Amino acid sequence: MANVMLPSFFTDNMVLQRNTTVKIWGWAITNEEIKLTASWTDETFTTKTNSNGRWAIEVPTTEAGGPYTINIKGYDEVTFNNVMLGEVWLCSGQSNMEWTPSAGIDNAEAEIAAANYPNIRLFTVNKMTSEYPQLDLKGKWQVCTPETMKHFSAVAYFFAQRLKNELKNVPIGVMNSSWGGTAAEVWIPKPYIELSPVLTEAAKKAPQESEWCPTEPGSTYNAMIHPLVGYEIAGVLWYQGESNCGSDVYNKTLGGLVDSWRTLWNDDFPFYYVQIAPYRYEGGDYQGVGVRDAQRKMLDEVSNTDMVVISDVSTIEDIHPQNKKPVGVRLGNIALKKVYGKDMGLVDSPLFESAKADGKSVTVSFKYDDGLYFTNKKSEMFELAGEDGTFYSATAKIKGNKVIVTSPEVKKPVQIRYAWHNTAQADLFNKAKLPASSFKAAIE
């Protein structure tokens, strides 16, 4: 006889997605009967293991609540305690998602001390790689306390805290699966990359070796994401891009990641991400802003996505900005408005929409343009280029919710760009005090 076993993310303290049907699965002896009971329902769920010794049971969940127990009985039995029904978000990326309060964040001592949230649950996936997709990973659910929070993703924690504060009694589960230094390609299934000439070529230009992290396409996906496929989630948070600086198709790479994950989960879940911060990257002036612009472009290419701009809360001297709370809060505000229907007001940064020429003058329109203003009454960050492609500094004025841009050096404007430098920090904001994204575009 074989003991009933489950993947590591089915444990005490876990959060299961509320108001849906969740799948719970594991292993036992071939053809063994498995019975599952959950304390939020009177129903008993029964199945048998297949010829590979695998079993899976679908269980309807109710409104938010807990703590509950789950009992699974076969040859032996397993009981999970302190289980909550609530909202589950998967968080992934590189070092800025991995970054913990203990590694250094603003106001760390006070934030850690205040992190007593019994209804917030934290799950960190241990770092592993694999050449092939795995069935399990290492990690465990923990109740949020000062001791557990200080070793958890700061961005994911502040996101969970924001949701908890607004959704009140709804438990929040955040699962962090990230690895500092990784390019996006290691998080995408390798077969998916190989089916796309664009992704294949981009993968060849991504870092090929590193002393800090894996570089083989699909290697962290196989070990740190694939085992989670099927665990019901509300959405995904992503903070990565620094290691893909220099790519001119990052929007296609990240779009491929989103598509591959959604296909595997069979779910068009929300995918919200952080635009990388301005920083003094070595080797050029524009490879970082190129990725920022690609991240902006992806919003129009992939549905049910949104982006947080953070150039106002970062420092160009540190690739790991320590002001992590606004990052998590802004992600939380987007989710609260777009997933949970809360009236959060304006939650998006100004995003380039169009540029139209009238002689030497160019009128720039933005999405999310309510209350546009410059921090110093005027902007030094707009540039225009004529048919020769040479950009010149331009004068910008706000008229209504439009920006009017002119340059004496450019008589017939053809292209426009804004905050187009690795270290450029926005000086254009909307009334929600959210900074405009960098952009480069043709003029109509």
Residues 332, 162 contacting (CB under 8 angstroms) = yes
Count of beta carbons in the 10 Å neighbourhood of residue 260: 22
pLDDT tens digits for 389-408? Answer: 999 999 999 999 999 999 99
Three-state SS string over the chain comes to: CCCCECCCCCCCCCEEECCCEEEEEEECCCCCEEEEEECCCCCEEEEECCCCCEEEEEEECCCCEEEEEEEEECCCEEEEEEEEEEEEEEEEECHHHHCCHHHHCCCHHHHHHCCCEEEEEEEECCCCCCCCCCCCCCCCEEEECHHHHCCCCHHHHHHHHHHHHHHCCCCEEEEEEECCCCCHHHHCCHHHHHCCHHHHHHHHHCCCCCCCCCCCCCHHHHHHHHHHCCCCCCEEEEECCHHHCCCCCHHHHHHHHHHHHHHHHCCCCCEEEECCCCCCCCCCCCHHHHHHHHHHHHHHHCCCEEEECCCCCCCCCCCCCCCCHHHHHHHHHHHHHHCCCCCCCCCCCCEEEEEEEECCEEEEEEECCCCCEECCCCECCEEEECCCCCEEECEEEEECCEEEEECCCCCCCCEEEECCCCCCCCCEECCCCCECCCEEEECC
Question: 86-338: what fold?
Answer: Rossmann fold (3.40.50)
Residues 329, 321 contacting (CB under 8 angstroms) = no
d(CA 307, CA 299): 7
236 pLDDT band, cuts 50/70/90, is very high
pLDDT tens digits for 320-336? Answer: 999 999 999 999 999 99
- Show the tokens assigned to 177: 């699966």
Whole-prediction pTM value?
0.97
Q: Note the pLDDT of residue 283.
A: 81
Residue type, 105: I
d(CA 253, CA 263): 15
Partners of 55 in beta bridges: 26
Strands 141-144 and 65-73: unpaired
Q: What percentage of the chain carries pLDDT values higher than 90?
A: 96
Strands 305-308 and 141-144: unpaired
For the chain, domain boundaries: 15-84, 86-338, 351-442
d(CA 397, CA 419): 15
d(CA 7, CA 100): 25
CA distances to 61, 120, 302, 329, 361 from 39, in Å:
11, 20, 39, 33, 67
pLDDT tens digits for 128-147? Answer: 999 999 999 999 999 999 99
pLDDT of 2 > 70? The answer is no
Mean pLDDT for 81-106 is 98
Please state, rounded to an integer, the average pLDDT across all residues of the chain. Answer: 97
Q: Note the pLDDT of residue 225.
A: 98
pLDDT tens digits for 261-300? Answer: 999 999 999 999 999 999 999 889 999 999 999 999 999 9
In words, the CATH class of domain 15-84 is mainly beta
pLDDT of 369 > 80? The answer is yes
pLDDT of 230 > 80? The answer is yes
Which of the four CATH numbers 2.30.30, 1.20.1070, 2.60.40, 1.10.3470 does domain 351-442 have? 2.60.40
pLDDT tens digits for 37-77? Answer: 999 999 999 999 999 999 999 999 999 999 999 999 999 99
pLDDT of 1 > 80? The answer is no
Question: Is the N-terminal amide bond of 60 cis, ω within 30° of 0?
Answer: no
Q: Note the pLDDT of residue 321.
A: 94
Same fold, 15-84 and 86-338: no
Residues 217, 273 contacting (CB under 8 angstroms) = no
pLDDT of 173 > 80? The answer is yes
409 pLDDT band, cuts 50/70/90, is very high
Mean pLDDT for 247-258 is 97
Q: Note the pLDDT of residue 175.
A: 98
Residues 71, 77 contacting (CB under 8 angstroms) = yes
